[in-house]
Amino acid sequence: MANNLRPETMERITNFELANAFIEEQVAAVRAQVGDKKVLLALSGGVDSSVVAALLIRAIGKQLTCVHVNHGLMRKGESEDVIRVFGQELDANLIYVDATDRFLNLLAGVADPERKRKIIGAEFINVFVDEARKLEGISYLAQGTIYPDILESIKAAEGKQAVKSHHNVGGLPEDLQFELVEPLKLLFKDEVRVVGEALGLPHAMVYRQPFPGPGLGVRCLGAITRDRLHALREADAILREEFANFGLAEKVWQYFIAIPDIKSVGVKDESRYEGWPAIIRAVNTKDAMTATIEEVPYEVLHKITYRITHEVEGINRVLMDLTPKPTGTIEWE
């Protein structure tokens, strides 16, 4: 573990000058580590994997293959952004896998949150392994491990238990044990963002709010259905758009919609209209262990409520969750 610890002398990366020096150093280190060998990366579109991808493209270009698995639980437009930025603008070797049906078929009828997480995590590995097996001559696996992940694993090794199981690309089968490339493993999140911007990634991608691995799967509460998942994705896109319009997007740490598996009676076009409630969650936190509720102006809430109930099929009410953590967790599942 010792060489995984950040040296006390390491300066915090707060500006482009320091970021560029870090990038130069890591480009050289990656080239020295992998030589002319090939590297594989699971590119989720999250901040960490995106910054690793951009860094490795700079270092080794087409020796890197990125695999983006769309598990059907991404937010609106996210997979499209990955394809545009990495496949087109950065001209990466990008394999895009639309595995929506694989995931949603396995999840059909499964209501228990931890079972849902396990299914999503395991299937993610299955899809990734299927793709990796089709490729030849891969020697390395790149990962967007950052310093808090290292600190987490130290805690885990000391036997302190996590409240919810989180997943990354651990657990690959024996024949796919690659050596790891983890160029961000000594960086904190704010430093990763500065490095990402210095590498030319779009601001929105680098300052993206945290998004759980199981994605909308843990926000479409209970057993996921395609129609409720669709409503969730659309409602969440409206929430994000309006938070951006009102200058809240970078002020609030995490904000999203959850939709429970219940319907209430409402009225639309003078007829009875049964629909789901969309629940708004908007929280601030430092480390996600505790969280406070962001005060969202009523003007914003009214606009979001109006748009969601008028633009999204199947939703007839909008609620706001005012529960801090504790007692609520940030996610509902």
Give the list of residues 6+ apart from residue 100 with CB closer than 8 angstroms, or none.
Answer: 70, 71, 72
Choice from 76, 118, 164, 230 touching ligand XMP (CB under 6 A): 164
Specify the stretch interacting with ligand XMP by CB under 6 A; choose among 70-78, 153-161, 212-220, 257-265: 212-220
Specify the stretch interacting with ligand XMP by CB under 6 A; choose among 17-25, 102-110, 208-216, 240-248: 208-216
Spatial distance between the Cα atoms of 190 and 14, rounded to a whole number of angstroms: 8
DSSP-assigned letter for residue 260: -
Of 171, 140, 167, 163, the residue nearest 71 (C-alpha): 167
Long-range contacts of 234-239, Cβ-Cβ distance < 8 Å, separation of 24 or more: 234/76, 234/311, 234/312, 234/313, 235/259, 235/278, 235/308, 235/312, 235/315, 236/75, 236/76, 237/75, 237/76, 237/77, 238/304, 238/307, 238/308, 238/311, 238/312, 239/280, 239/304, 239/308
Min dist CB 117 to ligand XMP, Å, is 5
Binding of ligand XMP at residue 288 (CB under 6 A)? yes
Q: How many residues lie near ligand XMP (CB under 6 A)?
A: 14
Min dist CB 219 to ligand XMP, Å, is 9
Binding of ligand XMP at residue 330 (CB under 6 A)? yes
Min dist CB 163 to ligand XMP, Å, is 5
Specify the stretch interacting with ligand XMP by CB under 6 A; choose among 25-33, 150-158, 160-168, 310-318: 160-168
Taking the least distance from each CB to ligand XMP, the nearer of 117 and 228 is 117
User: Mask: binding to ligand XMP, 224-243, rule CB under 6 A, as x and -?
Assistant: --------------------
Min dist CB 161 to ligand XMP, Å, is 13
Of 46, 36, 35, the residue nearest 69 (C-alpha): 46
Interacting residues toward ligand XMP by CB under 6 A? 117, 163-164, 166, 210, 212-214, 254, 288, 325, 329-331
